[in-house]
A and B are shown apart, each in its own frame.
Chain A
Amino acid sequence: MEAIKDSQGAVWEVFIQAKPGQPYRHVGNVHAFDKEMAMQNARDVYTRRGEGTAIWVVPSNYIVASSPEDIGSFFDPANDKVYRHPTFYTLPEGVQHI
């Protein structure tokens, strides 16, 4: 666990699933000292207005993030390769979510 720098506990990232079957989406973070407290805080801060039906909380320091220096090598190669998008096909009518 990350060293606690103030009296509010470690930072945890919060993910909410709006409905069963849908992906969990990152909604923000909370402070907490343990799993149970992180879950309760996430519930109190992010689900007060019917935002979802399931919650994940993850300690922020367990998230592996790409760094800004990686932008070039990670993402630029995708910019000039239109053939990676299946835009040369005509989609049959009625096909959704593509």
Chain B
Amino acid sequence: MTEPDNQPANQPAKRFDDQWDDHPAAGADEPVSITAYPNGPLLVRGTFEILTPTGEVIPPRRKTVALCRCGVSTLKPFCDGSHKAIGFRTEPEPPAPQPPLPA
């Protein structure tokens, strides 16, 4: 991490966000986390890149993003809340009570 005092005088002052640009691995001490929210998206936190199939970076609009896992978002790869409308479930339903076996 660069200390402000060590910056060459002829360079513009660094903005907070620039540290993420300069140090893609800045999150090394804080690994990327992916949290699976029940019946909903995957929330990704940390320093990461999301790429298109051809390798272009999809610019993130926020630090924590939600990735679609129900398949019907209109903003893929991001979540738009559509999973609620289709009743998407990630957890198996509890098994229906079975009729007792005939004796």
Query: Do these two chains interact?
Result: no
The chain A residues found within 8 Å of chain B, CB to CB, are none
The chain B residues found within 8 Å of chain A, CB to CB, are none
